[in-house]
Amino acid sequence: MRRVITLAVLGLVLASCAGTPQLEKTAGTEKRIVGYLFEGDSLVNPNLLHLGMVTDLLYAFANIKGDTIVEGFRNDTKNFRLLNEAKRKYPNLKILISVGGWEWSGGFSDMCLTSKTRAKFIRSAVSFIQKHDLDGIDIDWEYPGLPGAGNPYRPEDKRNFTSLLAGLRMSLDNLGIKTGKHYLITIAAGAFGDYLKHTDMAEDAKYLDFINLMTYDMSVPGGDSLAGNNAPLFTNPRDPHPNSDDKAVEDFEAAGVPPSKLVLGVPFYGHAWHVDSTAFNGLYEPGRPTVSPINATYGNLVGKYINKNGYERYWDSTSCVPYLFNRADSVFISYDDPQSLRNKCEYIKARGLGGVMFWSFSADYRSTLLRTLYEELK
């Protein structure tokens, strides 16, 4: 019966995507709004982050060296202090350290290889959390059992990843007994089938508070041959890959993950393509990276591109996302905006998901998209 009800509600979400009235807002379980903060070597200005609109801030990134977690950037210690000072105003905010990322996932496979090396990392993670007064850790291993950015990987990564999470859970629970608080463990998960084949998500979920689905970069210039949607809510039949938010959620639920532990990722940025055809306004036409790079963060798109300088906004009513097309220059840009995020929030509520995650704060400097998430989910 629940599945029938869910399908009926999803039908209303699809109708909303096509432009008919949206679902009425209903009270429900508290949803998470999770934001990645990537400042590099810069100092954080907490006043610009609108921290009252997020439940969890994931500070990116720490690195792995010698099987231990280490600060990734010059001002990390100062930034943690600044964020903790700001947290006094927002006592419910959780601050986690995110370890790894695309470029810094190279140390995971070696670190996880033996119980000894895993234990060394876990001890360092507990110390890191205590040192910086954090609320938990986010493991951003891209990707267990897969090469990712040319990183070392092994078949054993699957079971070793689970062992790492189990060990972290035990150690942080023991720390929590001493401090009287619950420490969060989360992961950033690849939203595609091969990721699920190389992980044991049903078992991993037992040790995790929630899973951040990286449901974006589903069509990337240079990596794909057609100019597709960056983060489609539903699969467009013209997409040669059956990628979408809905497909990822279906796959993770089928793999044994409770929907309440799934947090849907949304991008605060887009991708720009040069296309070879103006048919369908460039959507799913052959394409490649633009000759001159385009800053496709949402803040920059609003300032320079959306219905400006020859770019017109279009709507993919099947995938429920917008895109821009400059017919004169044959440039196609896929992105998310308040309309698409409202539909994704309706989907999150309809499916009973745990909430939403975004990358990243700096791409939406006016907090337009973040405010949309907050208004829809809070």
Tell me which long-range contacts 173-177 makes (C-beta under 8 A, separation of at least 24): 175/126, 175/129, 175/130
Task: Give the separation between CA 55 and CA 45, rounded to whole angstroms.
Answer: 18
Q: What is the DSSP string of 328-353?
A: TTTEEEE---HHHHHHHHHHHHHHT-
Other CB atoms within a 10 A radius of the CB of residue 49 amount to 20
14: DSSP letter? H
The two tokens of residue 161 are: 């990843």
Distance between CA atoms of residues 159 and 115, nearest Å: 12
Q: What is the pTM of this model?
A: 0.95
**Count of alpha carbons within 13 angstroms of residue 253, beta-carbon side:** 15
DSSP-assigned letter for residue 75: T
Give 258-302 pLDDT, tens digit per residue: 999 999 999 999 999 999 999 999 999 999 999 999 999 999 999
Question: What secondary structure letter does DSSP report for 153?
Answer: -
208-226 mean pLDDT: 97
Q: Which fold has domain 274-332?
A: Chitinase A; domain 3 (3.10.50)
How is the chain split into domains, by residue range?
Answer: 2-269+337-377, 274-332
Beta strands in the chain (DSSP E): 32-38, 56-65, 68-70, 94-100, 136-140, 184-190, 210-214, 262-267, 271-275, 287-289, 312-316, 321-326, 331-334, 355-359
pLDDT at 23: 47
CB 248 within 8 A of CB 344: no
HSE of 246, CA atoms in CB hemisphere, 13 A: 20
Q: Is the pLDDT of residue 18 over 50?
A: yes
| DSSP secondary structure letter of residue 315 | E
For the domain made up of 2-269+337-377, the CATH class stated in words is alpha beta
- Please tell me the predicted confidence (pLDDT) of residue 21: 41
DSSP sequence for 116-146: HHHHHHHHHHHHHHHHTT-SEEEEE-S-TTS
Q: What is the predicted pLDDT for the residue at 83?
A: 98
Block residue for tokens 């990276």: 289
Mean pLDDT for the chain overall: 94
Distance CA 109, CA 122 (A): 14
Structure tokens at 73: 């950037």
d(CA 305, CA 303): 6
157/164 Cα distance (integer angstroms): 10
- d(Cα 164, Cα 134) in Å, to the nearest integer? 19
Q: Is the pLDDT of residue 19 over 90?
A: no
How do residues 309-357 score in pLDDT, each as one tens digit? 999 999 999 999 999 999 999 999 999 999 999 999 999 999 999 999 9
Q: pLDDT by residue (tens digit) across 143-165?
A: 999 999 999 999 999 999 999 99
The catalytic residues are: 142
